Structures are given as C-alpha cells and as structure tokens.
Amino acid sequence: MPRVCKLSGKKVRAGNNVSHAHNVTKRKFRPNLQKKKLVINGKKVRVLVSTRALRSLSKGKTKNLNLDI
C-alpha cells in the first residue's frame, strides 16, 4: 500500500539531513498517516489519512479534501 493520504494527497517527500559540519545525506519526510474507517458517500471505507486531513474533517473543512474515493 503506498504511503499516500487518500484525502489530501500528501506523500513521502525527499530532503537532506545537514550535520553541524554541513555534511549532507539524503532523507525522507514521511506524512503522519493513520488507518481510519470513514463514511464516504454512504459507504464505510478503510483508508490511510493524514492527521492534518483528519483534523480538517473534524472541523468541517472539506474544501481542499478529495472525498471522491
């Protein structure tokens, strides 16, 4: 299962670790994804959802979320 949020589309991003001596190594920034059962279009669906998207759902803000699963 890919590590992508089904609602917001957040996914793994690439970046660099930078030490005090400015040695640079590659790293990954992973989204905080949780498995949740959501009722979407009258159906219970288990999806990976970022915590930011869950917070937006709880506040009733669905403008920027993809609810067509």
Q: Are the C-beta atoms of 1 and 48 separated by less than 8 Å?
A: yes
Pairwise CA distance, residues 13 & 60, whole Å? 27
| pLDDT at residue 68, rounded to an integer | 67
What are the boundaries of each domain within the chain? 1-53
Side-chain-side CA neighbours of residue 15 (13 Å): 7
Task: Write out pLDDT tens, residues 13-64.
Answer: 999 999 999 999 999 999 999 999 988 788 898 999 999 999 988 888 777 7
Topology (CATH level 3) of domain 1-53: Ribosomal Protein L24e; Chain: T; (2.30.170)
**Strands 24-29 and 13-18, bridge-based pairing:** antiparallel
